[in-house]
Amino acid sequence: MRNGLQVTVLVSTLLCARRAAAQKPTSEQICAEAIRIINAGATDTGRSGWLFTQIVRCAEGPNVIAARWRAAHDRSEDLKQLLIWNQQLRDQRIAEAAIGVARDASRPIPVRLTALQALVTYFDPSASVGLGPGALDNPPPTGSLGHDADVGARLGSEPPAPDLPDRIYRLNRDLVNDATPAVARAARYLWQALTDARPKAAALGPGSLVISNVCGRKFRVDNRTGIDLSVEVAWSAKAPQRQHRIPAGGSLDMTLAGTDTVRLLFAGHELGAAVTGSTTCR
Amino acid sequence: MGPAGFNASNHPYNLVIYSGNGTGLIPTSPSDGGATTVTGYVQGPASIYADRPTILNYACGDSTGNNPAYAVSGSQTITAEALDSAHIVPDKQDVVSGDTVTFTVQVSWSNNIHVFGAWRWVSDTTTNNTTWTGQCWQSTSCKAVVRERGHAELDQILVEGNITLAARSLVIAVVPPQLLVDCAGSGSPRGSTVTCHARPYPSSESFSVSGWTFTSTAGDVVTRTANQSDSTWAGTLVVDGRIDVTGVVAGQGKAGTANVTVTPRDWSGKAVRSTHATPGADVLPVRPDSFSQLGRTSMWMLVRPDPQNYAVVITDGGPNDSFTYMTDIPFETFDTARVNYPAMAQGSDWYAIQYAQDTQVGGTTYCGQGRVLTLPPLVEAHEGTDPPSEPNSHVGIYVNDVNRLAPEPSEALAGKNPNPEPVRAPIDNAAFADSRAMDTDSRNNIVLPCVFIYDYSRLH
């Protein structure tokens, strides 16, 4: 949603115009107060609550919010505030803090899950797995990312680095083996969803997807990863390229026409090939 | 032709029919007025004459022409009909070299046929290896082992005892044996039954079937594993492809092929299953930092988790055995339209930081507090809390686009392990892109002549 005359309003100018006679704090003073309150572990309640919004405009805002990520407790109001800030500000320092939290097995599970949830928007700003805390508590076995309309987070003074999406992808892939089942489940769900959204980010390792000949023109594709993968099979310029979904840890047999070598591709990259077998299929 | 003659000795005044060359005397016409038709045959070409050669004395009266002795009445009809010649009819016209063809003399107007001539084979090629077999002498039927293109001839065919005819057969073609496949039901809507029949050509040839395969245009091969020798293969067809059959025709190994196609079913009326949620503000910030935080819509398009309700795996042993096709759209949408009601309420922090009325400062017009209170219905319509009545909302655009884009490619999802993901993702992305584009095009229902303030230090 975008107001047709959207502008950024300057704080001090308006303060002077409206309350010319009053003693008005400068923006530096406001930010200092916001930093003090937030660093003290306060929550967005009472008269000082507006400072939690104002912090996103402060130069030190990303550092303060990153610190809150590192110190976050398993309290719904804390997690909710972190996700609200996530709607309002995107900065490399915040992302680094969230990555650290997600990897840190000593942190409370809800905090780690919230970090994974927030990081999805650093993979794709309009991607969504849910807005509020708990979205990754019970993820489905498989699923795709949603889209959010009306996203409008401002960029911090350290915008997200170009390699951040790839790092977030690897983070989720790594955490599939996390000792905490809830984290591993959420990571697996995200690994799957991020792979489907951006297959080129997958960078599958050797042996992840293997094509082999069973007999004659019967071929088998084995998926040795922990997620379902959409692959392409090509073998002839005359035949259309085929697309298949190979379940995690599963395989697919297919009998193909022709005599050409059969090539296996993922995200446009060839991962292997197989030729017609010398033995006839029975 | 006037009355018949008298029924007396030498049949005075009777009508006599004869041919011009005098060789074919037609049987005497009957004198009895109640007689049935009599027929005579004359070998053509000839002219037919009629006469009353036997005089009856005094029939015409005295020398003056008066006082005739008799008065007669009645009529006869004489019909001259040109009859067809004799024919030699083969029991087959296209044969494989070495096939036996039976030729039979046929005269359409008589069974009184006697053959006195010799059967002859006339080759149309440089060879003449066709041989007659069995008893042909004076037989109206004769068998030949045909080894080249040609025809049979025969003369001295005596019909009705006085007509001598000659005849020749149609040309007998020698063709290579073939195994043909005809498929009924090809071109029908996806999911219909196709029935393929194998048959030999020439049709009179012996044949047997040894195997069937189907190869889809996508390259999947289905080999028939049961009743391979049946001359018919039938089953549900869901993708275009080629039917191949192998077998033996006239002792030679042969293969036949036929293309089969399906046509799309009309799924234009199908709708994608959709779930809609309106959780209010959810976790939108009560102090929005930008106009975009007054509402937010999440949209999802997923593959349905209940394939038993939208997909069928074919298990009929037919050409598409083990293939899957859709009976319903395999996708569903989930959308959540959030509206930041607390922020847009009277007395909220965001309300409080706005000017009391629309106010111009410098070159910018700021919205007054009253406008805050007018926003909720606009944001509802923008996000789509009631999509059917809000087609230009984020949800409305997304869901309508998915419903428009999904049926056709979903209907075509068929084959061996068809993957819905390559269908889902482009539709999902296109629908979302369209939905998001609404923010900056003419469908956006929120166009204000002023801007709001997001500086909460004004609360201080």
Say which residues have a Cβ less than 8 Å from residue A152's Cβ, sequence separation at least 6.
Answer: A1, A2, B290, B291, B292, B293
Q: How confident is the model at residue B130 (pLDDT cuts 50, 70, 90)?
A: very high
| Cα B235 versus chain centre, distance | 16
CA–CA dist A245, A229 (Å, integer): 6
Decide: A199 and A234 in contact? Cβ < 8 Å. Answer: no
> Is pLDDT of B28 > 70?
no
B45 has pLDDT over 50: yes
Taking residues B97-103, report their average pLDDT: 95
The dihedrals phi and psi of B345, each to the nearest 5 degrees, come to -90, 155
pLDDT per position as a tens digit, B136-176: 999 999 999 999 999 999 999 999 988 999 999 999 999 99
Burial of B290 (0-12, 13-18, 19+ CB in 10 A): buried
Contact assignment for B455 to A236 by CB distance below 8 Å: no
In chain B, residues under CATH classification 2.60.40.10 are 178-263
E strand or H helix at B425, and its extent?
helix B421-437
Task: Enumerate helices (H) and strands (E) in chain B, giving the number of each.
Answer: 5, 29
In one-letter notation, the amino acid at residue B216 is S
CATH class of the B178-263 domain in this structure: mainly beta
The Cα-based distances of A273 to A208, A210, B418 in angstroms read: 14, 8, 21
For the complex shown, is ipTM > 0.90?
no
Beta-strand relationship, B48-51 and B120-123: unpaired
Looking at residue A159, its pLDDT comes to 97
Q: Which has more confidence, B411 or A1?
A: B411
d(CA A85, CA A75): 16
**What amino acid occupies position A253?**
D
Query: B294 vs A30: CB contact, 8 Å cut-off?
Result: no
Q: Which residues pair with residue B150 across a beta bridge?
A: B123, B172
Tell me, yes or no, if A257 comes closer than 8 A to chain B by beta carbon: yes
Give the CA distances from residue A162 to residues A35, A122, A166, B163, B431, in Å, rounded to whole numbers and listed in that order: 28, 10, 8, 106, 26
Q: Does A26 touch chain B (CB under 8 A)?
A: no
Please tell me the least confidently modeled range out of A41-55, B82-96, B114-128. A41-55
Identity of residue B65: G
- Contact yes or no for A52 and B447 at CB 8 A: no
Cα–Cα dist B233/B197, whole Å: 7
**What class has domain B87-174?**
mainly beta
Around Cβ B425, how many Cβ atoms within 10 Å? 16
- Amino acid A42: pLDDT: 78
CA A119 and chain centroid, separation? 5
How many interface pairs between A and B have CB atoms less than 8 angstroms apart? 197
Nearest by CB to A242, which of B219, B382, B452? B219
- Is A237 near chain B, with CB under 8 Å? no
Interface test with B, best of A50, A81, A189 (most B CBs within 10 A): A50
- As separate numbers, helices (DSSP H) first and strands (DSSP E) second, chain A gives 9, 11
Query: What residue ranges of chain A are covered by domains with CATH 2.60.40?
Result: 209-274
From A3, A147, A196, residue closest to B452, measured CB to CB: A3
Q: How far apart are CA A185 and CA A175, in angstroms?
A: 9
pLDDT of B21 reads 60
Q: Across the interface, do A149 and B301 touch by the CB < 8 Å criterion? A: no
Q: Is the pLDDT of residue B58 over 80?
A: no
Output the DSSP codes for B10-50: T-TT--EEEETTSS-BPPPPPSSTT--------PSS--EEE
> What does the pLDDT average to over B46-61?
76
Phi-psi region of B283 (alpha: psi -120 to 50; beta: other; left: phi over 0): alpha
DSSP codes of every residue in B73-134: ---------PPP--EEEES-SEE-TT-EEEEEEE-TT-S-EEE-S--EEEESSS----EEES
Q: Which residues pair with B273 in a beta bridge?
A: B332
Please give the span between the terminal C-alpha atoms of chain B, in angstroms, as a whole number.
136
Cβ within 8 Å of B, A 121-160: 126, 128, 130-133, 140, 142-144, 146-152, 154
- Proportion of chain B above pLDDT 90, given as a percent: 78
pLDDT at site A13: 34
H or E element, residue B379: helix B369-383
Question: Tens-digit pLDDT profile for chain A (282 aa)?
Answer: 655 433 333 333 333 334 444 577 888 999 999 999 999 887 777 778 889 999 999 999 999 999 999 999 999 999 999 999 999 999 999 999 999 999 999 999 999 999 999 999 999 999 989 878 888 998 877 778 999 998 889 999 999 999 999 999 999 999 999 999 999 999 999 999 999 999 988 878 889 999 999 999 999 999 999 999 999 999 877 777 788 999 999 999 998 888 889 999 999 899 999 999 999 887
In one letter, which amino acid is B189?
A: P
**Helix ranges, chain A (H):** 11-18, 27-39, 50-54, 61-71, 76-88, 92-103, 109-123, 164-175, 181-197
Q: In the predicted model, is pLDDT for residue B27 greater than 70?
A: no
Beta-sheet pairing, B295-303 with B331-339: antiparallel
pLDDT of residue B25: 58
Whole-number pLDDT of residue A20: 43
Interval B196-233: pLDDT, tens: 999 999 998 999 999 999 999 988 999 999 999 999 99
Angle at A255 between CA A251 and CA A256, to 5 degrees: 120
Greater pLDDT, A59 or B35: A59
A57 or B45, higher pLDDT? A57
Alpha-carbon distance A163 to nearest alpha carbon in chain B (angstroms)? 23
Residue B8: pLDDT over 80: no
CB contact under 8 A, B284 and A87: yes
CATH code of the domain made up of A209-274 = 2.60.40
Strands B331-339 and B273-277: parallel
Q: Which residues contact A106 (CB under 8 A, 6 or more apart)?
A: none
B370 min Cα distance to partner chain A (Å): 16
Q: Which of B414, B225, B222, B212 is nearest to A218 (CA)?
A: B222
Q: Is A196 on the interface with B (CB under 8 A)?
A: yes
Reduce the DSSP state of residue B375 to 3 states and report it.
Answer: helix
Question: CB-based contact (8 Å) between A48 and chain B?
Answer: no
The pLDDT assigned to B24 comes to: 52
Residue B238 gets which letter from DSSP?
A: -
Q: How far apart are CA B423 and CA B412, in angstroms?
A: 10
Residues 354-393 of B with CB under 8 A from A: 361, 364-365, 379, 382-383
> Sheet of B131-133: strands edge to edge?
B87-90, B100-106, B141-145, B131-133
Min mean pLDDT across B35-39, B79-83, B428-432 is at B35-39
